[in-house]
């Protein structure tokens, strides 16, 4: 898949060889999007736990999970999405539930519908794998992402506290029955 011809962006499935790219992009996009919200200690604790090469390598080794990269024509990664079995704290979680887990695009490449393209890629993959029920978690103050998910039929069904170091963010759990 590519973007417009004048600014092509391809989306391709990530492989184990992309773990370092995902770690770098995962760190950069999280800091760019949310870094201002946390103390340096909380931000560092979160990043060294969840945005490492090892964390992405472990994720990519799971045959039930997948990630995709949005790449400029020069090969620079500017966005990504991850998906797999639902890991959200949902009471009575269905065995076949899937989740779009991380969706990030560098700020300077937003407004190009890359988030939508990545999101639909992950949703299609989850649907193809028989995940009849789909979930996504979103920060309670991320209204733009909430609007995107609502356009795809996701509705809020719960809330939970998401730890970033010692800080707890209020997250919404959104659910959709797969189309």
Which CATH number characterizes residue 150's domain?
3.40.630.30
Instruction: In whole angstroms, give the CA distance from residue 99 to residue 122.
Output: 9
- Provide the pLDDT for residue 8: 78
Could you tell me if residue 3 is inside a domain? no
Could you tell me if residue 2 is inside a domain? no
Could you tell me if residue 37 is inside a domain? yes
7 pLDDT band (50/70/90 cuts)? low
Could you tell me if residue 48 is inside a domain? yes
Could you tell me if residue 63 is inside a domain? yes
Instruction: In whole angstroms, give the CA distance from residue 1 to residue 113.
Output: 13
Structural domain boundaries, residue 51? 9-177
Other CB atoms within a 10 A radius of the CB of residue 168 amount to 12
For 106-114, what is the mean pLDDT?
Answer: 90
pLDDT over 90 (residue 100)? yes
> 3-class SS at 29?
helix
Instruction: In whole angstroms, give the CA distance from residue 158 to residue 67.
Output: 25
What share of the chain in percent tops pLDDT 70? Answer: 94
On whether the pTM is more than 0.85, the answer is yes
Could you tell me if residue 1 is inside a domain? no
What share of the chain in percent tops pLDDT 90? Answer: 91
- Provide the pLDDT for residue 112: 85
The DSSP call for residue 52 is S
The count of structural domains within the chain is 1
Instruction: In whole angstroms, give the CA distance from residue 70 to residue 14.
Output: 10
5 pLDDT band (50/70/90 cuts)? very low
Could you tell me if residue 152 is inside a domain? yes
Nearest to 60 by CA among 121, 19, 104, 97: 19
Residues 15, 126: contact at Cβ < 8 Å? no
Could you tell me if residue 67 is inside a domain? yes
């Amino acid at each position: 898949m590519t973007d417009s011809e004048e600014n092509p962006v391809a989306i391709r499935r990530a492989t184990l060889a992309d773990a370092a790219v995902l770690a770098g992009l995962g760190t950069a996009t999280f800091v760019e999007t949310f870094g201002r919200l946390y103390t340096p200690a909380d931000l560092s604790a979160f990043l060294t736990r969840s945005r490492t090469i090892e964390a992405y390598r472990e994720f990519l080794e799971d045959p039930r999970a997948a990630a995709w990269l949005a790449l400029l024509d020069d090969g620079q990664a500017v966005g990504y999405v991850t998906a797999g079995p639902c890991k959200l704290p949902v009471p009575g979680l269905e065995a076949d539930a899937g989740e779009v887990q991380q969706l990030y695009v560098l700020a300077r490449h937003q407004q190009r519908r890359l988030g939508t393209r990545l999101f639909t890629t992950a949703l299609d993959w989850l649907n193809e794998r028989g995940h009849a029920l789909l979930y996504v978690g979103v920060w309670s103050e991320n209204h733009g992402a909430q609007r995107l998910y609502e356009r795809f039929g996701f509705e809020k069904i719960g809330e939970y506290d998401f730890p970033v170091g010692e800080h707890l963010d209020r997250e919404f759990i959104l659910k959709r029955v797969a189309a």
